[in-house]
Amino acid sequence: MRLAVLLLLALSTTAQAKEQPPAVERFVRRMVEQHGFERKALEETLARARVRQDIIDKISHPAERTLNWSQYRRIFLTDRRIREGAAFLRRNREALRRAEEKYGVPPRIVTAIIGVETFYGRIAGKDRVLDALYTLAFHYPKRSRFFTSELEKFLLLAREERLDPGKPRGSYAGAMGLGQFMPSSYLEYAVDFDGDGRRDIWKNETDAIGSVA
């Protein structure tokens, strides 16, 4: 009898832990009705998301502060960044040339943006994008509307690109890839610049160059 009671309590606790905020049900219903998502699969995807208090703390008290040019210069114009930028230019010369020809953006500008955003992919963020956007959409009321929209766009791009939504990593705010695109920016600007059928802004420097340009 005692074992049965303990099992019931455990099951009850598990069920409560998986309860979602009412906003999640509204979100699921909208994704099903507007975008044709399969309800059960979407609910399972969202159930995999972890609510991250550390992400809420970071976005509530960001480490970034307003800097003047001399302070920015010390951060970004280091010998190592200059060497890495020159190496990026050399190994991607052809992709950068094509990007300038197609979009009119000089190679040095594209290279500088990627260098500032992620140090050429070295600092692209380690947080699961699903966790970040879920947390901020449903547990950070101050920016809920914005991040709910970004979560919607993220799920759409994951479906389009046939990605497991639990795999992509990015910043604590959900920015992704070498150029740190939010999902809405990805859908708007990401391109398959090497013609392999995918828009990979995480590991494919050619796609990242075309997308940033």
Distance between CA atoms of residues 207 and 79, nearest Å: 27
Q: Which of 201, 198, 167 is nearest to 185 (CA)?
A: 201
- What tokens were used for 63? 């480490």
Catalytic (active site) residue 25: no
As beta bridge partners, residue 181 has 176
Give the bridge partners for 176, in sequence order. Answer: 170, 181
Closest alpha carbon to 117 in 159, 158, 84: 84
In DSSP terms, 170 is beta-bridged to 127, 176
Q: Is 93 left (phi over 0), alpha (psi -120 to 50) or beta?
A: alpha
Identify the CA nearest to 154 among candidates 144, 145, 164: 164
List the catalytic residue out of 25, 33, 94, 117.
117
Residues belonging to the active site:
117
